[in-house]
Chains A and B, each alone.
Chain A
Amino acid sequence: AQTVTQSQPEMSVQEAETVTLSCTYDTSESDYYLFWYKQPPSRQMILVIRQEAYKQQNATENRFSVNFQKAAKSFSLKISDSQLGDAAMYFCASQTGNQFYFGTGTSLTVIP
């Protein structure tokens, strides 16, 4: 089984500033995908960004980007120009075959 580790239970960021959420994973597979999901309070989890392991280029979605370090098995999420609506739990996840593995999450607070 794979493991996904998020070492920051809580993070805070000033509105309009940049914050980076950390994630490491452990897999012996060569073909896998990595994800960041956002879970706002009392709402469903939604995909923020996805990275294919075979791609060297870091994925970017508007204000969200990742720093994918395959050798180090690191997959951090950078949120630029943070907005109040970014406040949520963020889960890092890996996928191999039919299985998805989630970290324990990072609670992000955005300070006005």
Chain B
Amino acid sequence: DTGVSQNPRHKITKRGQNVTFRCDPISEHNRLYWYRQTLGQGPEFLTYFQNEAQLEKSRLLSDRFSAERPKGSFSTLEIQRTEQGDSAMYLCASSRDLITGELFFGEGSRLTVL
């Protein structure tokens, strides 16, 4: 098991373009989280999946953001019509057992919007 994998690791785009990030969680983990992290800040919750169901969404997740987790495996986070304020590190984390609570994080996808 190679852990949580995120692609691409870096993305530079022009304002107004769409971008999509992919997260492959640890295979037996049924819980998947997306976070956003900006410089000098801790991770901010965006959304949470249990299997294929998106159970919670933060108000940070505007209508330009959409996340999916088809078949309860990998997940994608799409940002439409990107804005400069979207520039951040997007972190994916997965968990198998909520009782133990441990999140396993990927290395993140860094987005730069020019």
Residues of A within 8 A of B (CB): 4, 6, 9, 33, 35, 37, 42-47, 50, 91, 93, 95, 97-105
For residue B91, which residues in chain A have a CB less than 8 angstroms away from its CB?
Answer: 45
Chain B nearest CB, measured from A93 CB (Å): 8
Our pick among B43, B101, B102 for the contact of A91 (Cβ within 8 Å) is B43
For residue A47, which residues in chain B have a CB less than 8 angstroms away from its CB?
Answer: 102-103
Known contacts A91-B43, A101-B45, A105-B40; 15 additional CB pairs below 8 A are: A35-B101, A35-B102, A37-B103, A37-B105, A42-B107, A44-B3, A44-B105, A44-B106, A95-B101, A98-B31, A98-B55, A99-B56, A100-B45, A102-B42, A105-B41
Count of chain B residues with a beta carbon within 8 Å of a chain A beta carbon: 26
Bound Cα distance A43, B91 (Å): 11
Within 8 Å of chain A (Cβ to Cβ): is B48? yes
Our pick among A33, A44, A99, A105 for the contact of B4 (Cβ within 8 Å) is A44
Whether the pair B41, A104 counts as a contact (CB closer than 8 A) is yes
Q: List 17 A-B contacts (CB under 8 A).
A: A4-B42, A6-B42, A44-B106, A45-B43, A45-B105, A47-B102, A50-B100, A93-B42, A98-B50, A98-B55, A99-B45, A100-B43, A100-B45, A102-B42, A102-B44, A104-B40, A105-B42
